[in-house]
Amino acid sequence: MTETPERDRPWLIRTYSGHSSARASNELYRTNLSRGQTGLSVAFDLPTQTGYDSDHVLAKGEVGKVGVPVGHLGDMRTLFDGIPLEQMNTSMTINATAPWLLALYIAAAEEQGADRTKLMGTVQNDIIKEYLSRGTYIFPPAASLKLIADVIGFTVAEMPKWNPTNICSYHLQEAGATPTQELAFALSTARAVLDTTKERGELPPEMFGQVAGRISFFVNAGIRFVEEMCKMRAFVDLWDEMLRDRYGVEEEKNRRFRYGVQVNSLGLTEQQPENNVYRILLEMLAVVLSKKARARAVQLPAWNEALGLPRPWDQQWSLRLQQIVAHETDLLEYADLFDGSPVVDAKVAELKAGALDEMKTIERLGGAIAAVESGYMKEALVESNARRVQAIMSGELKMVGVNCFTESAPSPLAEAADAILTVDESAEADQIESLNAWRESRDEAAAKAALAALEQAAKEDRNIMEASIAAAKAGATTGEWAGVLRRVYGEYRAPTGVGGAAGVAAEGLAEVRSKVEQVSARLGRRIKILVGKPGLDGHSNGAEQIAVAARDAGMEVVYEGIRLTPKQIVTAALEESVHLVGLSILSGSHAALAREVLEGLRAEGLGDVPVVVGGIIPKADAEALKAAGIAAIYTPKDFDLAAIMSDIARIVDGSAEAA
């Protein structure tokens, strides 16, 4: 009788989720856990991520859209009601407000009777990549690094099972990073974090190995799964070598590359979206096939994320993909499948060499923070993404259902009436009502005293974690916590990367330039457009590519980056005398924000200025926006930038004739 090989333990199986309210999200978490999920991965809404209460002007239309709103300890209690936190492994994708959300989590866990030393999980807490790709930063880089170090210093001493930062290359790839850039930018960020932690001296030198051992990473895995697997093996080697040679970390276990992953969402398509199931599964292979570089935790997107928010059933489908690979296949019965492969070894060596060269460049610039502040990293990502978009447009980069094999039968999945989850519009009003009730019921004097103590700790450059936990227990809110630190540290606007980015000549752009020149001549001045990102959505890749393409097509472009109010966009349109306003909204708040911009333009006498909108916009919403006066809608299926530029020139020309 053949003896069954001993199997490795599966990775943590998670689903990234959260929406509408703490109560609705709690129900979703408990359902997913009952279906075999082995860890939690919390998605927070944008006001929570950027440090605003739900009733702030910038939160309008954003509450509960891309994640769960958590405004105070009461929300955190509800979020984890019935879930024993001492036994749970919880990942929280939170960055600028990471110290606060961790403080709320600790406070909620201690109310359950949990011992904080036994809490397991992760806060992402990587602000540097937020300046480059995701946009949920608040404070300047130096202050942000200090807050990262505060969390590290506190957790290593108080919560030895907690990962205080996930150095996150996931969003770098979503912003266009090549594998070499993803390696180099992430490891340069890790250097900055480790150097800052060491320099602050909060922990004794003999504990530095423990600090290194608690640093984890969060990566992306794209469809080129062989190259992506080699990238992960390169990460393993480079991290080990850096900790050993640069920092003198002696214990091998403290040099292990520990990472979680969500596979690529950028490559999920609106066209033939059922194909995304296969993309997701193939991308997962990159992070589980190689035992040497296997992920510790995996979360998979859902097949319909290019259409809108996934439903619980869609998340279950992705959960089942993981469970089949982990429990039905024989993958976990074998040693590493690729050790000794000359093909894999050569590719890993190539990626390592490229990453080390790029890291040297960043080091010459003064390190990761200097490379952010100078715009070097951002411009590199914008250029890489432009090359990727051009490769799709030209057909060099094949995408099935997008630029090849486009003939298809109608999809019964995508065309179903309830193919995506729709957030109840009453969720925002309900959350604001709950927030007001919380404020009224708390001990106001205790909350103010706790916030004053937090401010004092920040001003004195002390670790803010204990003060944040005290503020959480005293009833302070997310907006109040962030407001205190905004006063102390100030706010920051990162470089857009558009001005210095080299464009990539797109097929058909010469014809568009000619059209732009003709329309500009009829107008008596060059076509001028405003590309605006209203609300709190920081995913700026699409806006950046539109701005670069419009510039290269011969238009004058006004682009001021992320996180603008509709009023600011209207004011800019008035002051800059633009011919068209383009809004990029990926957070699901397009209906409220686009209408507010339209109303603002009309109030300023600019009702004849056409407005176009791009984003993940369901068909019904698109029809409603057009009925409200939006001139055109662009969704992920509209990947041809030359066609979009031609369309914009046509809309401007038609608007001028109508006027």
Task: Give the per-residue pLDDT at 249.
Answer: 96
| Core vs surface per residue 16-44: b (16+ CB within 10 A) or e | bbbbbbbebbbebbeebbeeebbbbbbbb
Of the candidates 352, 380, 366, 356, the residue with the CA atom closest to the CA atom of residue 192: 366
Maximum average pLDDT range among 126-135, 409-418, 468-477, 588-597: 468-477
As beta bridge partners, residue 564 has 534
Domain match, 516 and 381 both: no
Residue 74, SS3 per DSSP: helix
Token digits for 442?
């708390």
Contacts of 538 (CB under 8 A, 6+ apart): 46, 50, 130, 134, 135, 136, 137, 562, 563
Confidence of residue 150 (pLDDT cuts 50, 70, 90): very high
Distances (CA, A) of 194 to 61, 67, 136, 168, 516: 38, 30, 22, 15, 50
Give the range among 147-156, 252-261, 339-348, 494-503 with minimum mean pLDDT: 494-503
Task: Give the per-residue pLDDT at 168.
Answer: 94
Domain match, 378 and 232 both: yes
> Quick check: is 537 catalytic?
yes
Residue 145 within any structural domain of the chain = yes
Using CB atoms within 10 A of its CB, is residue 198 exposed (0-12), middle (13-18) or buried (19+)?
middle
Q: Give the Cα separation of 631 and 655 in Å (integer).
A: 10
Task: Give the per-residue pLDDT at 1.
Answer: 46
What's the pLDDT tens digit per position in 238-286? 999 999 999 999 999 999 999 999 998 878 999 999 999 999 999 999 9
Domain match, 383 and 520 both: no
Last residue of a domain, one of 351, 377, 393: 393
Last residue of a domain, one of 343, 377, 393: 393
Domain match, 252 and 110 both: yes
Q: Which of 533, 579, 621, 653 is catalytic?
A: 533
Q: Are 44 and 370 in contact (CB under 8 A)?
A: no
Mean pLDDT in residue range 11-40: 94
Q: Are 535 and 593 in contact (CB under 8 A)?
A: yes
Q: Are 46 and 571 in contact (CB under 8 A)?
A: no
| Res 115 pLDDT > 80 | yes
Q: Which of 60, 146, 171, 347 is catalytic?
A: 171
Residue 162, SS3 per DSSP: strand
Number of domains in the chain: 2
Confidence of residue 506 (pLDDT cuts 50, 70, 90): low
What's the pLDDT tens digit per position in 451-500? 999 999 999 999 999 999 999 999 999 999 999 999 999 999 887 767 65
State the Cα angle at 215 between 213 and 220, rounded to 5°.
130
Q: Which of 75, 126, 537, 552 is catalytic?
A: 537
Token digits for 545?
């590519």
Task: Give the per-residue pLDDT at 114.
Answer: 97
Q: Give the Cα separation of 430 and 415 in Å (integer).
A: 31
| CATH code for the domain in which residue 600 is found | 3.40.50.280
| Res 501 pLDDT > 60 | no
Residue 212 within any structural domain of the chain = yes
Greatest pairwise CA separation for the chain in angstroms: 87
Domain match, 382 and 522 both: no
Task: Give the per-residue pLDDT at 659.
Answer: 65
Q: Are 51 and 482 in contact (CB under 8 A)?
A: yes
Percentage of the chain modeled with pLDDT above 70: 97
| Res 502 pLDDT > 60 | no
Mean pLDDT in residue range 18-41: 94
What DSSP string describes 353-366? HHHHHHHHHHHHTT
Give the range among 303-317, 369-383, 506-520 with minimum mean pLDDT: 506-520
Of the candidates 499, 606, 612, the residue with the CA atom closest to the CA atom of residue 556: 499
> Quick check: is 539 catalytic?
yes
What's the pLDDT tens digit per position in 68-87? 999 999 999 999 999 999 99
Residue 461 within any structural domain of the chain = no
Confidence of residue 511 (pLDDT cuts 50, 70, 90): confident
Mean pLDDT in residue range 90-115: 97
> Quick check: is 19 catalytic?
no
Q: Which of 146, 539, 579, 590 is catalytic?
A: 539
Domain match, 376 and 523 both: no
> Quick check: is 515 catalytic?
no
Q: Which of 52, 170, 376, 492 is catalytic?
A: 170
Residue 30 within any structural domain of the chain = yes
| Res 653 pLDDT > 50 | yes
Domain region containing 588:
509-658
Q: CA 146, 148, 150, 156 torsion: positive or negative?
A: negative
Of the candidates 623, 628, 558, the residue with the CA atom closest to the CA atom of residue 593: 628
Last residue of a domain, one of 348, 371, 393: 393
Q: Give the Cα separation of 117 and 124 in Å (integer).
A: 19
Looking at every residue in the chain, the average pLDDT score rounds to 93
| Res 585 pLDDT > 60 | yes
Domain match, 521 and 649 both: yes
Residue 297 within any structural domain of the chain = yes
Residue 527 within any structural domain of the chain = yes
Task: Give the per-residue pLDDT at 79.
Answer: 98
Q: DSSP H helical segments within 414-540, as ranges?
A: 426-441, 444-459, 465-474, 478-489, 509-523
State the Cα angle at 338 between 333 and 339, rounded to 5°.
100
Domain match, 386 and 516 both: no
Mean pLDDT in residue range 57-72: 93
Percentage of the chain modeled with pLDDT above 90: 81
What's the pLDDT tens digit per position in 203-236? 999 999 999 999 999 999 999 999 999 999 999 9
Task: Give the per-residue pLDDT at 618.
Answer: 87
Token digits for 238?
């480079």
Distances (CA, A) of 272 to 284, 296, 408, 415: 20, 31, 7, 11
Cα 472 from chain centre: 25
| Res 505 pLDDT > 90 | no
> Quick check: is 131 catalytic?
no
| CATH code for the domain in which residue 42 is found | 3.20.20.240
As beta bridge partners, residue 271 has none
Beta strand segments in 183-291, E: 216-219, 259-262
Contacts of 408 (CB under 8 A, 6+ apart): 271, 272, 401
> Quick check: is 170 catalytic?
yes
What's the pLDDT tens digit per position in 523-563? 999 999 999 999 888 888 888 889 989 998 999 999 988 88
Mean pLDDT in residue range 368-390: 92
Residue 478 within any structural domain of the chain = no
